[in-house]
Amino acid sequence: MKKLFTLTALLFFVGISAKAQLFTIGPKLGISNTTLSIKDNVGEYESGDAKYSYHGGVFARVKIAGFYIQPEAYFNSVKGEYFDPNQPQGEQDVQFNQSRIDMPILVGWKMGPLRINAGPVASFNLDEDVDASSTNSVVTEYKSAVFAYQAGIGLDISKIIIDLRYEGNLSNQAILGNDEGKVKVNQIMLSVGLKLL
């Protein structure tokens, strides 16, 4: 009876361990270096200096046949800059601010502690007003939802995960002026997460 109990307990803990190795979930947060890519119909607007932003949310990871799928959901405070020559002297570098929810679904491959991954991202705009923090902004519209892609590398150290990725937009994030300029947001993202399972 004692051997049966011991064997049952051993199988139970092995099962939990196997489940933990196949699935994990936890919080993550990070910083982004954001640049704007502007397609300008009138030749006036230009991309400005890169700006730092922050993001934070949750991730999950499921291992399947040597690969893994990692869906995420996080709040992303996007900050950028563009140049508008029509503004008064000293105010031509205009701030671009946006709040959104990003939901990437990444497919990756793990080699020891190292990972590589890539996948699509859906972004949902949370701003009701058009760039209200910048009085000289010529942003006339934020898209309610856009699609992008992410690709990068990662590192797992015990329960800590570290990710470095590039995100490029596949669709326009915002409109400048009377449909004169179209803005895409590109980011280099560094984040740290914690495995809770």
Task: Specify the pLDDT at position 11.
Answer: 36
Task: Please check whether residue 99 is in contact with residue 124, taking contact to mean a CB–CB distance below 8 angstroms.
Answer: no
Domain-by-domain residue ranges, the chain? 24-194
What CA–CA distance (Å, rounded) separates 47 from 37? 6
Task: Specify the pLDDT at position 176.
Answer: 82
Task: Specify the pLDDT at position 35.
Answer: 92
> Any idea of the CA torsion for 77, 175, 166, 156, to the nearest 10 degrees?
30
- Where the chain has pLDDT below 50, the residues are 1-20, 131-132
pTM of the model: 0.80
CATH for 24-194, options being 3.30.420.140, 3.40.50.11740, 2.40.160.20, 1.20.1250.30? 2.40.160.20
What CA–CA distance (Å, rounded) separates 42 from 181? 8
Task: Specify the pLDDT at position 25.
Answer: 96
Task: Specify the pLDDT at position 135.
Answer: 52
Task: Specify the pLDDT at position 129.
Answer: 56
CB contact set of 35 (below 8 Å; sequence gap of 6+): 47, 50, 80, 185, 186, 187
What is the maximal distance between C-alpha atoms in the chain? 87
